[in-house]
């Protein structure tokens, strides 16, 4: 089966939240951050041998984000074999990112190996080596964003980014989509404290809500916990049908990174 092209138009330039820090929908004051050499108190775990000041966010609307001294996800994959993930289009050279996102994808790869033996998680676009505009993406500019494939039972569609909806961009959710395993991976990622948001198609979020409610992992009265935080940070976006879009937070090491405000409270599962 021929893999789908990654849908760069998925980034929804008219969606303020998705464009996020690139379009001015942000919290914080970059001048204070640079002058004081510190960020707001955001509890993002520090990494051993942390690379400093890689991520550069725009200081005003219309500017592009940039990336300096980028971490190389493809090199990480090759040096940690079996990594549990693979970069699906290495010739495009869109596998650069912040140390935080490379680390988190590496951890998600190892989690995948344990969760689904012999499964390899496909990774789409991250960022260019020096950041900036990437194709028609509105984001993916400074190493904080990555497109990641869904889990499928059907081996024919496990190796790339395929739609989890029956008619491509619309229709009911495919039976082949591994909802339970997908829930566990996403909850694991959010539990790391690195995740800012995850963008996904509304129908797929609905299925994850139904799974979490059915298993008792989430209840209407819940206001905290890994399941609650996942559903709060799982943001519906209509074109994320063949992958989910992972965005990590600004860590204290990334002093020129402007952090978006947290999503509003609530899971979106009990309307």
**In this structure, are residues 124 and 89 in contact, taking their beta carbons and an 8 Å threshold?**
yes
Q: Under a CB-based contact definition with an 8 Å cutoff, are residues 83 and 57 in contact? A: no
Rounded average pLDDT over 170-175:
90
Please classify residue 223 by burial: count the beta carbons closer than 10 Å to its beta carbon, then call 0-12 exposed, 13-18 middle and 19+ buried.
Answer: exposed
- Is residue 27 within 8 A of residue 230, CB to CB? The reply is no
Compute the radius of gyration of the chain from its Cα atoms: 18
pLDDT tens across 224-250, in order? Answer: 999 999 999 999 999 999 999 999 999
pLDDT at 270: 92
Strand partners for 247: 145, 197
37 vs 3, residue with greater confidence? 3
Spatial distance between the Cα atoms of 131 and 85, rounded to a whole number of angstroms = 22
pLDDT at residue 39, as a whole number = 36
User: What is residue 231's three-state secondary structure?
Assistant: helix
User: Within 10 A of 131 (CB to CB), how many other CB atoms are there?
Assistant: 24
**Residue 204 scores a pLDDT above 50:** yes
Q: How far is CA 240 from CA 97, 137, 157, 202, in A?
A: 20, 13, 16, 9
Average pLDDT over residues 204-227: 97
**CATH hierarchy code of domain 12-248:** 3.30.1380.10
Spans of all domains in the chain: 12-248
Give the SS3 label for residue 244.
strand
pLDDT at 174: 96
Cα–Cα nearest to 195, from 121, 125, 107, 112: 107
Distance CA 191, CA 230 (A): 8
Q: Report the percent of the chain where pLDDT is more than 70.
A: 83
Neighbours of 111 (CB within 10 A): 18
Measure the CA–CA gap between 163 and 38, rounded to whole angstroms.
41
**pLDDT of 15:** 53
Tell which residue, 150, 148, 142, has the closest CA to residue 249: 142
pLDDT digits (tens, 9 = 90+) for 28-87: 333 333 333 333 345 788 887 778 889 998 877 667 889 999 999 999 999 999 999 999
Give 138 or 80, the one with higher predicted confidence: 80
Asked if 109 contacts 122 with a C-beta cutoff of 8 angstroms, the reply is: no
Asked whether residue 12 carries a pLDDT value surpassing 50, the answer given is no
Residue 64, CB half-sphere, CA atoms under 13 Å: how many?
Answer: 16
- Residue 24 phi/psi, 5° resolution? 95, 0
Average pLDDT of the chain? Answer: 86
In the DSSP assignment, the letter for residue 209 is H
């Amino acid at each position: 089966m021929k893999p789908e092209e990654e849908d760069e138009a998925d980034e929804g330039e008219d969606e303020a939240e998705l464009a996020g820090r690139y379009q001015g929908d942000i919290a914080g004051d970059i001048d204070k951050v640079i002058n004081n050499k510190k960020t707001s108190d955001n509890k993002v775990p520090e990494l051993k041998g942390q690379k400093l000041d890689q991520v550069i966010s725009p200081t005003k609307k219309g500017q592009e984000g940039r990336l300096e001294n980028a971490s190389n996800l493809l090199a990480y994959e090759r040096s940690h074999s079996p990594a549990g993930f693979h970069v699906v289009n290495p010739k495009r050279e869109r596998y650069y990112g912040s140390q935080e996102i490379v680390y988190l994808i590496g951890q998600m790869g190892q989690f995948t190996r344990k969760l689904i033996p012999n499964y390899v998680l496909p990774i789409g676009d991250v960022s260019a080596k020096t950041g900036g505009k990437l194709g028609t993406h509105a984001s993916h500019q400074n190493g904080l964003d990555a497109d990641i494939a869904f889990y499928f039972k059907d081996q024919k569609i496990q190796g790339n980014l395929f739609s989890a909806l029956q008619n491509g961009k619309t229709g009911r959710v495919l039976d082949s989509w591994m909802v339970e395993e997908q829930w566990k991976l996403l909850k694991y990622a959010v539990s790391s404290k690195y995740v800012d948001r995850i963008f996904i198609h509304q129908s797929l979020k609905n299925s994850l809500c139904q799974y979490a409610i059915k298993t008792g992992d989430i209840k209407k009265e819940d206001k905290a916990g890994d399941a609650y935080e996942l559903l709060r940070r799982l943001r519906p976006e209509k074109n994320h049908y063949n992958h989910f879009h992972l965005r990590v937070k600004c860590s204290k090491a990334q002093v020129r990174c402007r952090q978006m405000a947290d999503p509003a409270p609530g899971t979106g599962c009990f309307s």
